[in-house]
Amino acid sequence: MADQDNDRLLDHTYDGIQEYDNPMPRWWVITFWATIIFSILYVLDVPGIGIGPGRVAEYEADMEKARAARLALEPAGAPDPEALAALAADPARIAEGQQVFTMYCAACHRADGGGQIGPNLTDDSWIHGGTLAEIRATIHDGVLAKGMPEWGKVLKPDQVNAVTAYVHSLLGTNPPNPKPPEGTKGTQGTP
């Protein structure tokens, strides 16, 4: 049987139809208030308006993650410029670099660095940059267009650094019958 409290009729009629004066179902009321609360929180968290991190903060966080991932992918053993300068002054590293250079690089650059197929490494003219970092990058990454392989795939990072130190030590030596200068004059050895 129907409860008498729920069967109250309103005093007016519409086209002969009367309307009950019942309260809304409780789950409707809860849903109504929940959507109001959700909409307020949503507006507060909209990027650029509210209190949430926003698009700019999310972008910066993503960029920081990308920078960290890029640094993790950099070749192992790639020292900073100061460390390269210290390696270039270490006679033991230069001697190690000379052995590796003689084994792998002398075929194109001659054992004395005077140049053969590859450029002369004893003058102050450089095709791909004469700083220690540029020399290391050229050795590590190669110059495939000119026929120089990527030695970073063959040599260990310490060997690449040692060859960089040895090539730096060749500046100013006078080999017999050197190849003419190629590239632009630059300061070799600065980080």
Arithmetic mean of pLDDT, 33-61: 80
Lowest mean pLDDT among 14-18, 39-43, 74-78: 74-78
Q: In this structure, are 41 and 94 located in the same domain?
A: no
Q: What average pLDDT is seen over the chain? A: 81
Strands, DSSP E only, in the chain? 9-14, 17-20, 125-126, 184-185
pLDDT of 1 above 60: no
Across 38-60, average pLDDT: 77
Q: Are residues 29 and 108 in the same domain?
A: no
Residues 51 and 107 in one domain: no
The structural domain count of the chain equals 2
In this predicted structure, the answer to whether residue 75 has a pLDDT above a threshold of 60 is no
Query: What pLDDT was estimated at residue 90?
Result: 86
CA–CA separation, 170 and 176 (whole Å): 13
Sole residue written with tokens 């729920």: 6
Q: Is residue 191 part of a domain?
A: no
Position 77 pLDDT exceeds 60 = no
Q: Is 115 left (phi over 0), alpha (psi -120 to 50) or beta?
A: left
Range of the domain at 140: 81-185
What gap in Å lies between CA 154 and CA 93, rounded to an integer?
18
Exposure letters 38-55 (e unless 16+ CB within 10 A, then b): eeeeeeeeeeeeeeeeee
Is 32 in the same domain as 103?
A: no
Q: How large is the angle between the packed helices 91-104 and 81-88, nearest 10 degrees?
A: 90
Q: Pick the residue with more confidence: 80 or 175?
A: 175
